[in-house]
């Protein structure tokens, strides 16, 4: 189905101007139309066949433009989802202005972690979705009781640790790429600490075996292993108990930290260099999109045919899949 999009903006309460505005891009399943609104204004009607639509909110990595994840948003919208991408220029680290997924670092410290949410953008995004449900082209088209949080790198961690029914009862599942929950030494955690996750909702955690960013930043967490998958594997093993068969760990052979992102901006310095991927990026992205969409179909839509399809895809002999676990 064709995919269309429109832009919105939202204010973040308690944030100082001018860094208090999030700019959103909302992608949705559209349908071809020759009406004047489509021809003159580019506003494509919604394909109502699969409405009401579950919603995916995607949190970018630090200094990663939302447009770098457009490919994934399009793939998911083609499957009948509404996807929210956003850019927020703000100060997360003292004195550093950057594109941020929105994380309250105070709430990630030992004395406060898990006592409240850490996603500073999420309340504003949820409020904007409520507004879109009541006015505009998506009026009445959203299933706001089935919201999926996804993200990359720091944004992936934000997605996982805020998929908590105690804080946000609208959330139905989460997925992350290139993320883990190791505690930073600078925040006062002991070396090698893996912080717990809510463990109340379905989770899909994906990582690459050539993730140089994770490997080269491991010293920040007191993790001595040079294997970039170690913090991710430990997160899956230690941060959640599982037991519902809806939590997955997928390791992609040869994928690096930015295999999920398109068109990297070389003008924005990255503190930790990535390793080269060993396979074309498109191959990884096609596989990721299929697995993420099947995961959502199975554990959010509860489509019975999606479970065997997901299991078959993960178990098939595929040179891009090193391993997967489910618990």
Q: Which residues contact 325 (CB under 8 A, 6 or more apart)?
A: 236, 248, 249
28: left (phi over 0), alpha (psi -120 to 50) or beta: beta
pTM of the model: 0.95
Cα separation, 97 vs 21, in Å, equals 14
Give the pLDDT score at 37. Answer: 52
232: left (phi over 0), alpha (psi -120 to 50) or beta: alpha
Spans in the chain with pLDDT lower than 70 = 1, 32-42, 269-271
Name all domains of the chain by residue range, CATH numbers in brackets. 3-326 (3.40.50.1820)
Q: At what angle do helices 281-299 and 70-78 cross, to 10 degrees?
A: 40
Six-digit token pair at 133?
A: 């449900």
Cα separation, 323 vs 315, in Å, equals 9
115: buried, middle or exposed (CB in 10 Å: 19+, 13-18, 0-12)? exposed
Q: Which residues contact 317 (CB under 8 A, 6 or more apart)?
A: none
Give the pLDDT score at 188. Answer: 94
Could you tell me if 173 and 162 are in contact, meaning their C-beta atoms sit under 8 angstroms apart?
A: no
DSSP 65-122: -GGGGHHHHHHHHHTT-EEEEEE-EEEEETTEEEE-----GGGGSTTTBTTB---SSH
Cα separation, 176 vs 292, in Å, equals 10
Give the pLDDT score at 40. Answer: 47
């Amino acid at each position: 189905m064709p995919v269309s999009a429109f832009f919105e903006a939202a204010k973040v309460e308690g944030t100082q101007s001018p860094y208090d505005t999030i700019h959103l891009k909302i992608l949705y399943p559209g349908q071809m139309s020759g009406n004047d609104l489509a021809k003159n204004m580019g506003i494509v009607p919604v394909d109502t066949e699969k409405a009401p639509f579950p919603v995916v909110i995607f949190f970018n990595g630090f200094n990663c433009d939302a447009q770098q994840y457009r490919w994934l948003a399009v793939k998911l919208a083609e499957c009948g989802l509404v996807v929210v991408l956003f850019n927020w220029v703000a100060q997360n680290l003292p004195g550093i202005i950057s594109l941020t997924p929105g994380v309250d670092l105070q709430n990630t410290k030992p004395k406060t972690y898990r006592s409240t949410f850490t996603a500073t953008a999420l309340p504003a995004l949820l409020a904007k979705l409520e507004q879109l449900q009541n006015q505009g082209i998506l009026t009445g088209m959203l299933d706001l009781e089935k919201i999926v949080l996804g993200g990359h790198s720091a944004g992936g961690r934000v997605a996982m640790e805020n998929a908590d029914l105690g804080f946000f009862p609208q959330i139905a599942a989460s997925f992350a790429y290139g993320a883990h929950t190791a505690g930073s030494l600078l925040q006062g955690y002991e070396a090698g600490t893996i912080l717990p996750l809510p463990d109340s909702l379905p989770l899909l955690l994906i990582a690459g075996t050539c993730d140089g960013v994770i490997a080269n930043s491991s010293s920040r967490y007191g993790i001595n292993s040079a294997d970039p998958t170690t913090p991710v594997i430990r997160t899956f093993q230690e941060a959640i108990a599982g037991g519902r068969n809806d939590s997955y760990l997928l390791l992609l052979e040869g994928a690096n930290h930015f295999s999920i992102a398109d068109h990297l901006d070389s003008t924005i310095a990255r503190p930790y260099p990535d390793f080269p991927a060993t396979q074309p990026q498109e191959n990884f992205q096609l596989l990721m999109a299929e697995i993420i969409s099947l995961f959502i179909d199975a554990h959010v839509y509860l489509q019975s045919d999606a479970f065997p399809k997901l299991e078959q895809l993960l178990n098939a002999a595929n040179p891009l899949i090193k391993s997967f676990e489910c618990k």
